[in-house]
Amino acid sequence: MAARGLEWLVVVHWANVYYLTGFTGSAGALLVGGEGATLVTDSRYREQAQEEAQGMRIRVSRQSALVATAGVLSQRVRRGAARVGFEAAHTTVADKEQLARGAGRGIRWVPVQGWMEGLRAVKDPGELATMRLAARLASEVFAEVLRLVKPGVREVDLAAEIDYRMRRGGASAPAFETIVAAGPRSAWPHARPTGRPLGRNELVVLDMGAILRHYSSDLTRTVYLGRAPSRIRRWYGAVREAQEAARQALKPGAAGHQVDAAARCVLRRHGLDRFFVHSTGHGLGIEVHEEPRLARGQRAVLEAGNVVTIEPGVYVEGVGGIRVEDDFVVQAQGAERLTSAPRELLEI
Ligand code: ZN
Ligand code: ZN
């Protein structure tokens, strides 16, 4: 803030507010500046804020958190000319207008981007311990659900089993809408499960993740119902090889685009790169997609403590898709895998 000449900063994105305060309510803003930081929330969250954001200054208002935040600013910035930062990626135009109207004249609003996200990208040992548990839960649920994957079972029923078992295992929610996609629909990287029953001689993609103690995991496995034809084995082998190449490239000092290129290069060698339609991976933490990104054009350099997925895939329209996704911690001595489900092609 000092480097940008900011006297105040208004943090509104829930994940950033949680990271900085521990508060999990859906309506809250953090005002940083003056003699410290103040968590502003509305009267529904009085007790929750006191319990979760211990040791913080808390201001509870009958108005919305945003209006109350503007009110605090208008009292504190008496002489005007203060520079106040706001989260450009998370403050809507309407929110910004409301802030500006409530805070009054004389404030210079400065958009800031990626500050808290940059802090969140490097996990401390406590966060890593939680993420290991979240990854283990997803891996265990995959192993349990594998017994239910057979012809005749509907995609939606498998997805429901996955969600139920994650909840029973301690998850507060799935980290995203669970994907179970069979046959030609497995070629849709983000397919929604349908009432269609799984058939023989089909690929099935299962993509699941748990939110455990506020941190997410993300795991994908692809199974084949029957004996896989040689073409499918070849594709699967290429995807696994691409994942391994990216894992080896994953180290402190490497840029996100280099890890992405490592996976893409393997698929190109197998003539499959045009079927790899998304990026190689993404950061994982309080949000299921966060910094750093393993994608084309990502010049940001990885650091020890980053947690990312590596999830290359091959998607052939009308035939099916293959994706293998695991979660890794970047460490000085190499990448540590957090998810533990088997990675060879499972034929059921
Ligand atoms: Zn996933
Ligand atoms: Zn993912």
Ion ligand 2, residue ranges at CB < 5 A: 218, 309
Q: Which pLDDT does position 34 carry in this prediction?
A: 78
Report pLDDT for 77: 85
CA of 139 to the centre of ligand 2 (A): 14
- CA Rg value for the chain: 23
Cα 152 to middle of ligand 1, angstroms: 24
Length of the chain: 348
* Ligand that comes closest to the CA of residue 138: 1
pLDDT tens, 64-82? 999 999 999 998 887 667 9
Residue with tokens 């009292």: 75
Inter-helix orientation angle 155-168/125-146, to 10°: 140
pLDDT at 343: 95
pLDDT for the residue 8: 95
Neighbours of ion ligand 1 (CB under 5 A): 207, 218, 220, 325
Among the bound ligands, name the one nearest to the CA of residue 208.
1
- Centre of ligand 2 to C-alpha 336, Å, is 17
pLDDT under 50: residue ranges of the chain: none
On whether the CB atoms of residues 65 and 90 are closer than 8 A, the answer is no
Structure confidence at residue 35 (pLDDT): 79
Ligand with an atom nearest the CA of residue 281: 2
Distance 39 CA to ligand 1 centre (A): 33
Q: Phi-psi region for residue 293, left (φ > 0), alpha (ψ -120 to 50) or beta?
A: beta
pLDDT at 80: 65
